Structure 1
Amino acid sequence: MAKQVKKDDTVVVIAGADKGKRGQVLRVDRVAARIVVKGINVRKKTTRRSAQNPRGGIESVECPLHISNVMLEEVYNARHAEGAKAADAKKADAAPASAES
């Protein structure tokens, strides 16, 4: 069974504009199948002046990603380590014969 992504897990983005970036999960919405990752999928949002925020202005907000676009970091690292081992084996098999023979 696949591991569930939980709050405070470290994930790697595997699709989209932020592909390859890593971050910590801040929030998980299982119903909508979306997660919010710290520093990933950041958008600018304008805020109006108010009593709490007298200046207003532009602030950065992390928007949700679909859960299928991320992978747990430990799973990601394990998969890429297997791929590196396979690539090294193929290189060794395909090495040219030495000139001495």
Structure 2
Amino acid sequence: MRYLLLVVEPDEPDRGPTPDIEEWVRRHDADGSRVLGERLRPAADVRRVRVAGGETVVTDGPFTESKDVIGGFDVVEAPDLDAALAIAAEHPGSWGGGTVEVHPFWPTGSTPPA
């Protein structure tokens, strides 16, 4: 099953990759559990798109009072939630005040449970 790992971190425009994340990426690319992932630009570069009443509204970021942003993401393949949580716990984004949210994918074409 696939899981989306959202890396939530302080919004710091000059943040960059660390040796810890590069090692985590190498390890999980090598074992096949990491499908893809990228760092994201700071909140000031984000745009929100909404269509209301037939009109497209584009709003510049940041959008909330929060000082945290989604700083990056990874898509991982794991046999179950426990394995995905273990992979997330190894992610350097979960250390030192950061958070990694684990979101299971909803398989395309499946029906939500009643």
User: What TM-score does the superposition give when structure 2 sets the normalisation length?
Assistant: 0.21
Higher relative contact order (CA 8 A, sep 6+): 2
Give the structure with higher Rg (CA): 1
Q: Which has the higher strand share?
A: 2
